[in-house]
Structure 1
Amino acid sequence: MNTTLIATAMILALAAFTQSLTGFGLALVSMPLLSMVMSLPQATALVAVVSLGVEVVILWQHRAHLRWQPVRRLILASWIGVPLGVVLLRQLPEAWLLHGLGALLAAYGLYALSGKPLPSLQRAGWGWAAGLAAGALGGAYNTSGPPVILYGHARGWPPQAFKANLQAFFLASSSMVFGAHLLAGDIGAATWAQAAAAVPALALGLWAGHRAAAFLPPARFRKVVLVALVLLGLKMLW
């Protein structure tokens, strides 16, 4: 086994562990690291394939806690937001949107970690707003996750529901991304071979993340998510 395959397996194991533990982060962890051992188009295609499998597994693990009503609202709103994102991509500088979102995520995470009361965002309109923002960011920069993660945390979803709801939303988004890459011819035999070779590493990462999550009480889980939000926000600002 060559060094590229070993590095790819280790990266995807870490990414799967992160997604299994927190409910998100697979692309955030894997894309920067994979782009160091393969071309960006190759990494994008591989993550498009791997994401589907990881999201299906985590959704299945937490399927009993899935809340369809808010997820359906998020998905429908995101579909409306995608064309808006395409327009924004042409009209506004990338740095404005990404830095603005990064500042919002970091500020929210730091504020929540301070222990001060947070808005609960219980009204249905907030779900539509989060989904619309997610779709717009997905259409513009393929970064649809942050608004939904923030929304789920503000709603106070329990850990299992948080993970199940996010996977359902991500799965709808990932399916569209996968289909687009497949139709464009970006996913070939080499991508499938890389994904197949990484299955044991992905399984190990998923198992380890699931086991680690069992030792996280809800309050600590929420802190882990908040720290991840701060890191994600700082990364977008950087």
Structure 2
Amino acid sequence: MSSLVPVFSWLDPSAWPSPGALAVAALALVAAYAIFTLVGFGSAMVAAGPLAAVLPVARVIPLLALLDCAGAAGRGWRQRAHIDRGQLRRLVPAMVIGQILGIVLLGRLPAAWMAGVLGGFILTYGLWGLAAPRPPALLLRWGPLCGLIGGVFGGLFGSGGFLYAAYLSRQPLARESFRATQAVLMGLSTGWRVLLCAATGLVDPLLLGLALLAVPAMLLGTWLGHHLDLRLSKERFLRLLNGALVAAGLGLLARVLVA
């Protein structure tokens, strides 16, 4: 019966979100998927707050997981010729193990402490990237470790994509290969999250309807991100990527301090 309960009580106008809140949520989705298209992660960082103002929080995470999975899978399919399968072989098995470990640890570690550690790690990594104009490449043998840690963060917080993007950006990959390989990693990671949400009853017809309503904003953001990407040099792209990491780290630390 819970799946039949509407998100908003349409018979009670006082329960409707304000037009301003809906507009902000739609603009946040556009911005989130422009950033997601550019750097391969960050949609939840941008959109979760505004969406929580118009939707129950329990709907926000599975909604973004559905949109992330669809967007990443679509991009990976369109650019499949550019996928670096060697990098996938290094990252994916470790990522799966890490996600299982993260889910096991989810109920056993203090959430605030872990969020603080994650925020500090992301912030430090982003600042290091901004301070180094030409950051050194990471050795290939670091791939499984990055996959493992990213999987753990994904299992714990639903946000391990930043680490895959940070690792791949340090590899001698063409921009198209970076995009395609990151898209496959995010498609697999978010697809696993969607399955977990479905197993716990969070994916239902109402959520699928909300996702369909959000698709135009996601497509507009994807289009905007693609056109911005065409105008970015590699150096500007790396600055944007590391700036997004800094913002994500600061956001996590702020949530820990406010909680």
**TM-score under structure 2 normalisation?**
0.82
1:1-238 superposed matches below 5 A: 3=19, 6-115=23-132, 118-124=135-141, 126-238=142-254
Change (3 A) 1:194 1:185: same
Change (3 A) 1:86 1:175: closer
User: Secondary structure of the residue that 2:221 maps to in structure 1?
Assistant: helix
Change (3 A) 1:96 1:157: farther
The residue type equivalent to 1:102 in the other structure is G
Note the residue ranges of structure 2 that are not aligned, 5 or more in a row: 1-15, 255-259
Cα deviation for residue 231 of structure 1 reads 1.3
Q: Percent identity?
A: 31
| C-alpha separation in 1, matches of 2:56 and 2:107 | 25
Cα deviation for residue 90 of structure 1 reads 4.4
The residue type equivalent to 2:204 in the other structure is G
The residue type equivalent to 1:30 in the other structure is A
Cα deviation for residue 156 of structure 1 reads 4.8
Change (3 A) 1:215 1:75: same
The residue type equivalent to 1:45 in the other structure is P
User: Secondary structure of the residue that 2:170 maps to in structure 1?
Assistant: helix
* Number of equivalent positions: 237
Q: Which residue of 1 aligns with 2:10?
A: none
| C-alpha separation in 2, matches of 1:214 and 1:12 | 21
Q: CA-to-partner distance for each residue in 1:74-120, whole Å, 9 max, x for gaps? A: 11101112232234334443344332332232222222222366342
Moved more, 166-175 or 23-32: 23-32
**TM-score under structure 1 normalisation?**
0.88
The residue type equivalent to 1:134 in the other structure is G
Note the residue ranges of structure 1 that are not aligned, 5 or more in a row: none
| C-alpha separation in 1, matches of 2:80 and 2:133 | 32
User: Secondary structure of the residue that 1:77 maps to in structure 2?
Assistant: helix
User: Secondary structure of the residue that 1:155 maps to in structure 2?
Assistant: coil
The residue type equivalent to 1:112 in the other structure is G
Q: CA-to-partner distance for each residue in 1:142-170, whole Å, 9 max, x for gaps? A: 22223222212233544322222211111
| C-alpha separation in 1, matches of 2:24 and 2:123 | 30
| C-alpha separation in 2, matches of 1:13 and 1:116 | 30
| C-alpha separation in 2, matches of 1:138 and 1:164 | 19
Cα deviation for residue 129 of structure 1 reads 0.5
Indicate conservation of the 8 Å contact 1:5/1:194, yes or no: no
Larger radius of gyration: 2
User: Secondary structure of the residue that 1:37 maps to in structure 2?
Assistant: coil
Q: CA-to-partner distance for each residue in 1:13-35, whole Å, 9 max, x for gaps? A: 22111111222211221222211
Indicate conservation of the 8 Å contact 1:8/1:198, yes or no: no
| C-alpha separation in 1, matches of 2:80 and 2:238 | 20
Q: RMSD of aligned C-alpha atoms?
A: 2.3
